[in-house]
């Protein structure tokens, strides 16, 4: 009888599988620009060529721009930062819920 019970236990343990719920595919929809209240810097004011600037920033779950990093220095970099701070986005969503997301862009010339 012990052998039968032991054999049944071994077979049950071998047949048992760990059940894990399948991972849902998380659909991420990127943030979309709604508009900016401060105009981007342009060459119109001084006629001087504007250098290419790159920026990366975070769009928070409320659609506000945060954590801005502009590669470059000077007045145009400061103007670009002010421009980005004034922008409003439709936030990115994951499975229908707003989430923070990072964006990067190269701004060049503004002509």
Least confident of 10-14, 80-84, 91-95: 10-14
Q: What is the pLDDT of residue 11?
A: 64
Q: In 10 A of CB 46, how many CB atoms?
A: 10
Strand partners, 88: 35, 64
- Of residues 2 and 22, more confidence is placed in 2
Average pLDDT over every residue of 90-101: 94
Could you tell me the residue ranges of all domains in the chain?
A: 24-107
User: What does the alpha-carbon distance between residue 79 and residue 59 come to, in Å, rounded to a whole number?
Assistant: 19
Average pLDDT over every residue of 73-100: 91
The DSSP letter of residue 64 is B
Helix, coil or strand: residue 103: strand
User: What does the alpha-carbon distance between residue 59 and residue 17 come to, in Å, rounded to a whole number?
Assistant: 43
Q: What is the pLDDT of residue 70?
A: 92
- On the question of pLDDT at 15 being above 60, the answer is no
Q: What is the pLDDT of residue 111?
A: 44
User: What does the alpha-carbon distance between residue 40 and residue 50 come to, in Å, rounded to a whole number?
Assistant: 12
pLDDT digits (tens, 9 = 90+) for 30-85: 999 999 998 877 655 556 667 788 999 999 999 999 999 998 778 888 988 999 99
This prediction has a pTM of 0.67
For residues 56 and 101, the answer to whether their CB atoms sit within 8 Å is no
DSSP codes of every residue in 48-86: PPPPPEEEEEEE-TTSBEEEEEEES-SHHHHHHHHHHHT
Q: Is domain 24-107 in CATH 3.30.2420, yes or no?
A: yes
Q: What is the pLDDT of residue 9?
A: 57
């Amino acid at each position: 009888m012990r052998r039968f019970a032991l054999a049944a236990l071994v077979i049950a343990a071998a047949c048992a599988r760990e059940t894990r719920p399948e991972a849902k595919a998380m659909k991420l929809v990127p943030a979309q620009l709604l508009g900016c209240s401060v105009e981007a810097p342009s060459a119109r004011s001084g006629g001087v060529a504007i250098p290419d600037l790159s920026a990366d920033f975070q769009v928070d779950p409320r659609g506000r721009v945060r954590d801005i990093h502009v590669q470059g220095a000077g007045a145009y970099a400061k103007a670009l930062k002010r421009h980005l701070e004034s922008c409003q986005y439709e936030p990115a969503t994951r499975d229908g819920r707003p989430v923070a997301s990072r964006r990067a862009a190269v701004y060049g010339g503004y002509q």
